[in-house]
Chain A
Amino acid sequence: MSVARTADYRRMTAHVLRWAAWYTRGIDRQATNDRLDELTSDLYEHVVWAESVGLQPDEVARSIRRRRLRGMVDDLRWRRAQLREARVHDPLEFRLRRNDNAALAITVTVGLGVVVFGAFTLTRVVSYLAVTGDTVVTALSGALVLSLLLSTVGLILLGWKRARFAGALALMIAQAAVVQFGFHGLLYGSAAVNSFMYFSELWPLPKYALVGALGLFFAAAALWWWPSSRAVRPPLASASEEGSAR
């Protein structure tokens, strides 16, 4: 009986090709086809050679299994190299990544601005409290501390790719509290703000405009990073010269 017709050989061949199909998933179609065709040819030549030298079917199957197992690490390295190369040569991927980095830099900067503003107003309120002992600002200090904590947590979450949307949401909520309590605190902690608020009829407008603008900004950031099940997009890789020859 021909080795090629034995169950052992067929099973082992199927294992090799299943493994190859697994480690070539999501890779440039040309490279995948080349690898699968080359393996198919190799398996065929292997059995022809095995028959010519009189190897038993179980020996052939064992030999194929060992070749598959010993090469697994190299298969995975090859896969990683292929994916890396595809990313480098994919202009869309490169542009998305560059935009993402820019969005992160801007969001972190604005978030940091919120935290700095909150910390500044807190120090003014606390120093007012220390000087005057006016307990009317105690609850305000507590609210400022909590909103500052929330905005700091939001900033930290921006550091994790998968948690960025949560960080942006936390900042969206925290900024409203920081600005609201901050301006309120500055009534006590800043003579200039105090004077402005008492003598200008339009004083709430800048505050609400700021809260609205920051809210929209962080909402947009949260949507930008909102988790979604992205379809596997085949990388744009140039066709090899074999491709044109096929």
Chain B
Amino acid sequence: MAKRKPGRLFPIEFDVLECGLALQASDGTFYGFALARALSDHSGTELTAHGTLYKALGRMKDSGLLESTWEDSAAADAENRPRRRLYTVTGEGEKAYRAEALALGADAVAERRRARAGGVIPGVPLLGIDAGGLA
């Protein structure tokens, strides 16, 4: 397994934080499959593998970048579906995202976004880390 550089995020962690913050901005929380869709949306790539996605989410939760809580059963029952595990990006997660974006540099961040989103990520707020602003 790749070793993490001190103070840095894995690429998937950066992507999870970026997409998670976008989903959180619109829905308040996000859940696994919504995140998998956000990660692959518009890119034409496959949905993130179960193992990869949930292992990353678990690791990020353990390191305090995300918080999770199980949805209330009544809400799930009302919609006749299984409960979702709802995630939110913590303040620490947002800070880590900003720090990683700064460390990567504007070009690299823009490149990652293009790679993931085929040019644009609709609905993904830049959180003050504008690609141009970093340059």
Same complex: yes
For B33, what are the chain A residues with a Cβ–Cβ distance below 8 Å?
41-42, 45-46, 49
* Contact flag A74-B36 (CB < 8 Å), given A38-B85, A245-B70: no
> CA–CA, A23 to B80, complex, Å?
28
Interface range for A:
20 to 34
**Does B31 count as interface, using CB distance less than 8 angstroms?**
yes
Within 8 A of A (CB), among B40-70: 46-55, 58, 68-70
**Does A58 count as interface, using CB distance less than 8 angstroms?**
no
- The chain A residue with its CB closest to the CB of B80 is A44
> In the complex, are the beta carbons of A71 and B85 less than 8 A apart?
no
* Contact flag A41-B69 (CB < 8 Å), given A67-B46, A67-B50: no
- The chain A residue with its CB closest to the CB of B48 is A67
* Contact flag A67-B47 (CB < 8 Å), given A45-B33, A46-B33: yes
> In the complex, are the beta carbons of B51 and A73 less than 8 A apart?
yes
**Does B118 count as interface, using CB distance less than 8 angstroms?**
no
> In the complex, are the beta carbons of A42 and B36 less than 8 A apart?
yes
> In the complex, are the beta carbons of A41 and B84 less than 8 A apart?
yes
For A40, what are the chain B residues with a Cβ–Cβ distance below 8 Å?
82
Per-position 1/0 for A11-47, Cβ under 8 A of B: 0000010000000000000000011011111101110
For B50, what are the chain A residues with a Cβ–Cβ distance below 8 Å?
16, 39, 42, 67-68, 71, 75
> In the complex, are the beta carbons of B32 and A42 less than 8 A apart?
yes
The minimal Cβ–Cβ distance linking B56 to chain A, given in whole angstroms, is 8
For B5, what are the chain A residues with a Cβ–Cβ distance below 8 Å?
none
Select one of A37, A49, A66, A70 contacting B82, CB under 8 A.
Answer: A37
- The chain B residue with its CB closest to the CB of A243 is B70
Per-position 1/0 for B21-41, Cβ under 8 A of A: 000000000011110110000
The minimal Cβ–Cβ distance linking B24 to chain A, given in whole angstroms, is 17
- The chain A residue with its CB closest to the CB of B1 is A77
Main secondary structure of the interface of A (DSSP, over half): helix
* Contact flag A70-B54 (CB < 8 Å), given A41-B31, A41-B33: no
**Does A101 count as interface, using CB distance less than 8 angstroms?**
no
> CA–CA, A161 to B50, complex, Å?
36
- The chain B residue with its CB closest to the CB of A40 is B82
Could you list 28 A-B pairs, sorted by A, with CB under 8 Å?
A34-B85, A37-B82, A39-B50, A41-B81, A41-B82, A42-B32, A42-B36, A42-B50, A44-B81, A45-B34, A46-B47, A49-B33, A68-B50, A70-B51, A70-B52, A71-B50, A73-B51, A74-B49, A74-B51, A74-B52, A74-B55, A75-B50, A75-B51, A75-B55, A78-B55, A242-B68, A242-B70, A245-B70
The 10 closest A-B pairs by CB, nearest first: A71-B51, A71-B49, A74-B51, A45-B33, A70-B49, A75-B51, A41-B82, A78-B55, A71-B50, A74-B55
Which residues of B are interface residues toward A (Cβ below 8 A)? 1, 31-34, 36-37, 46-55, 58, 68-70, 81-85
